[in-house]
Amino acid sequence: MSVLDFKNFEFRGYMGSRRVVSFGFRYDFGDSKVHAAPDIPSFLLPLRQLAAQFAQIEAAALQHVLVTEYQPGAGIGWHRDRPVFRTVTGVSLLSPCRFRLRRRQPTGWHRQTVLLEPRSAYLLRGPVREEWEHSIPPAESLRYSVTFRSLKSEA
């Protein structure tokens, strides 16, 4: 992954502890819109094809690719992916990750944790995409994820 031009993740002036690079499109938190990004590199196309098969959609529908590097101690707080995206599928690489999910209930939070082993995939669509938030606790060792997203106007 060292050939990628990673940048520190920035969210409204806050610099996150992870580094990212986007392809196809990139989401701008400043104006809440997607913008064109460099084309998806050819070495990611076979992985996109596998992610699309897993999600049971056409590979071309996965127009946004986000590669994230999590150094030890880097994580991501509770969130839902932005409404501009529809299907979200990702592949976890290099080290295991606890993928935490939560959904508000009348009496508090319903929580689940899924262990993503290296080379495992996940899919966020339907209720888990729309009703649940997810987060990743600080990484214990170097980890990468490759997230593929379709746009709401697509599949």
CATH number at residue 88: 2.60.120.590
pLDDT digits (tens, 9 = 90+) for 132-147: 999 999 999 999 999 9
Number of domains the chain contains: 1
Task: Name the residue type at position 139.
Answer: A
Average pLDDT over residues 47-71: 96
152 closest CA partner among 129, 136, 123, 122: 129
Q: Let me know if residue 110 belongs to a domain.
A: no
Q: Let me know if residue 77 belongs to a domain.
A: yes
Q: Let me know if residue 2 belongs to a domain.
A: no
How far apart are the C-alpha atoms of 118 and 121, rounded to whole Å? 9
pLDDT digits (tens, 9 = 90+) for 25-41: 887 777 777 788 999 99
Structural domain including 15 reads 7-96+117-130+138-151
124 closest CA partner among 135, 138, 109: 135
Q: Let me know if residue 59 belongs to a domain.
A: yes
How far apart are the C-alpha atoms of 71 and 127, rounded to whole Å? 30
The answer to whether 89 and 122 have CB atoms below 8 angstroms apart is: yes
Q: Let me know if residue 73 belongs to a domain.
A: yes
Q: Let me know if residue 55 belongs to a domain.
A: yes
Which of 58-67, 74-83, 95-104, 114-123 is predicted with the least confidence, judged by mean pLDDT?
74-83
Q: Let me know if residue 105 belongs to a domain.
A: no
Tokens of 149: 């997203």
How does residue 83 score in pLDDT terms, banded at 50, 70 and 90?
confident
Tokens of 2: 């060292």
Average pLDDT over residues 119-123: 95
Average pLDDT, the chain: 89
Share of the chain above pLDDT 70, in %: 92
Q: Let me know if residue 87 belongs to a domain.
A: yes
